[in-house]
Amino acid sequence: MASLRILGIVLIVAGALALAYGGFSYTKETHKAEIGPLKLSVAEKDRVNVPQWAGLASIAAGVVLLVVGKKK
């Protein structure tokens, strides 16, 4: 039962963060070159958008898990 409640809380927090920030960004290295002592690399910054419905669905699922965890 405790694991359902913890999962519910995690889903609620994740959904709230998804609604507040709308997504997350990360940096990935795409090209590397080494020519003698010279080293070059290119880092690209990408952004992943999280839809509002996914955040709301996560919050709703978290609330359902909290309710189910309390009933049993």
| pLDDT at position 18 over 60 | yes
**Average pLDDT in the chain:** 88
Question: Using an 8 Å Cβ cutoff, are 51 and 3 in contact?
Answer: no
* Residues in contact with 1: Cβ distance below 8 Å, sequence separation at least 6, in sequence order: 69, 72
Report whether pLDDT(45) > 80. Answer: yes
Contact (CB, 8 A) for 15 and 57: yes
Q: Which tokens go with 23?
A: 């997504």
Under 8 Å between Cβ of 19 and 62: no
